[in-house]
Amino acid sequence: MKNCFLIFIVFLFFSCANSKAIDSRSDSLLNKYSKSINEADLRKHLYIIASDSMEGRQTGSIGQKYAGRYLINQYKRNEIAPAANTTDYLQFIPSSALKTRGGQFLDSSENIAAFIKGSEKPDEIIVLSAHYDHVGVKNGIIFNGADDDGSGTVALLEIAKAFKEAQKDGHGPKRSILFLHVTGEEHGLLGSKFYSENPLYPLENTISDINIDMIGRRDADHSQSNNYVYVIGAERLSTDLLNIVIAANEKSSKIDLDFRYTENNDPSRYYTRSDHYNFAKNGIPSVFFFNGVHADYHKSTDTVDKIEFDALTKRSQLAFAVAWELANRENRITVDKK
Ligand SMILES: [Zn+2]
């Protein structure tokens, strides 16, 4: 009996040591690929996405289609596949599904969707979303929307590239990842609504949405430092998701996680105001990364020269670290709240 106990203790020691070794190996890989998300690339992409030639990326406009074409070309260059049921990465949305709050119908537009297939649980999908539309041109003045949401748009490109590099080295994600650039956000989350009603992959297999909308600036409450991000909604449906965000930040960016807007009774109601909400309302645990509003919010002065690329890089790396954990952990996260 004593011997049995001894063997048990030895077994326990080695299995703990082994799982620690696996953890630290996974952490070092996370670190390695996280570093491929860098300021120079984010800057290069954002100077194009938020340039005047994209004419403010109004939903359905030629300028938005130029921006979309740029995104698709980046996915092709990085050998990242189009998502299922798209035409060359495009999910077409008819004008009839693009009704504005004022009751007009916008020109037809497209969500853009790229996909990295999981190696072990390919049917389980993690979505990374960001809207690539903005408010276009008003009275001849272009609204570039560098922060809103050029910043999230280019973050997705970089996160996708990091996952692809890992996959090429034999460390691809165990679950699949969908990179979803939605349209029509500025007119009422229309592109993500269309996606949730016409999903490219079954919603019941969609385990989480990580939504990025405005992560390149700071707000007045953080005038002293840009080393923060607002985390909204993570705990609303899943305690696992909240814990993952906190742990991922410890392993990667180590920025201040500011939870002030996540409360159910928060008057800003940010939880319902960006694209993750169309996933959350379908019971999919979702988290929204956001830098808060600033003086240039929804003004023609939201330009790329005001982007703080150091902050954009760290926040993008955090979103990558969260996706990495969601994709590679043993168990799918659980929904433990309504
Ligand atoms: Zn936005």
For β-strands 141-142 and 206-212, DSSP reports them as: unpaired
Nearest to 111 by CA among 191, 57, 201: 191
Helical (H) or strand (E) element with 211:
strand 206-212
Ion ligand 1 residue ranges (Cβ < 5 Å): 148-149, 213
Give residue 232 CA to ligand 1 midpoint distance, Å.
14
Nearest to 192 by CA among 101, 117, 93: 93
Give residue 11 CA to ligand 1 midpoint distance, Å.
52
Give residue 134 CA to ligand 1 midpoint distance, Å.
7
pLDDT value, residue 24: 76
Please write the tens of the pLDDT for every residue from 194-242.
Answer: 999 999 999 999 999 999 999 999 999 999 999 999 999 999 999 999 9
Give residue 131 CA to ligand 1 midpoint distance, Å.
7
Burial class of residue 28 (count of CB atoms within 10 Å of its CB; 0-12, 13-18, 19+): exposed
Give residue 170 CA to ligand 1 midpoint distance, Å.
35
Give residue 16 CA to ligand 1 midpoint distance, Å.
44
pLDDT value, residue 123: 98
Give residue 183 CA to ligand 1 midpoint distance, Å.
11
Give residue 287 CA to ligand 1 midpoint distance, Å.
15
pLDDT value, residue 25: 79
Domain spans of the chain?
33-328
pLDDT value, residue 15: 56
Radius of gyration of the chain from its Cα atoms, rounded to whole angstroms: 20
pLDDT value, residue 9: 58
Contact 58, 134 (CB under 8 A): yes
Give residue 210 CA to ligand 1 midpoint distance, Å.
14
Q: How far apart are CA 117 and CA 220, in angstroms?
A: 41
DSSP string computed for 77-128: HTTPEEPTT-BTTEEEE-GGG-B-TTS-BPPPEEEEEEEE--SSEEEEEEEE
Instruction: List C-alpha distances in Å: 179 to 159, 292, 322.
Output: 9, 23, 14
Burial class of residue 307 (count of CB atoms within 10 Å of its CB; 0-12, 13-18, 19+): buried
Q: Which residues of the chain have pLDDT under 50?
A: none
DSSP string computed for 135-201: --EETTEE---IIIIIIHHHHHHHHHHHHHHHHHTT---SEEEEEEEES-GGGTSHHHHHHHHS-SS
Give residue 214 CA to ligand 1 midpoint distance, Å.
6
Q: How far apart are CA 135 and CA 145, in angstroms?
A: 8
Give residue 25 CA to ligand 1 midpoint distance, Å.
36
Give residue 185 CA to ligand 1 midpoint distance, Å.
7
Tokens of residue 332, six digits: 């799918």
Give residue 70 CA to ligand 1 midpoint distance, Å.
19
Contact 260, 230 (CB under 8 A): yes
Contact 124, 144 (CB under 8 A): no
Give residue 266 CA to ligand 1 midpoint distance, Å.
19
What fold does the segment set 33-328 form as a domain? Answer: Aminopeptidase (3.40.630)
Give residue 118 CA to ligand 1 midpoint distance, Å.
29
Helical (H) or strand (E) element with 229:
strand 228-232
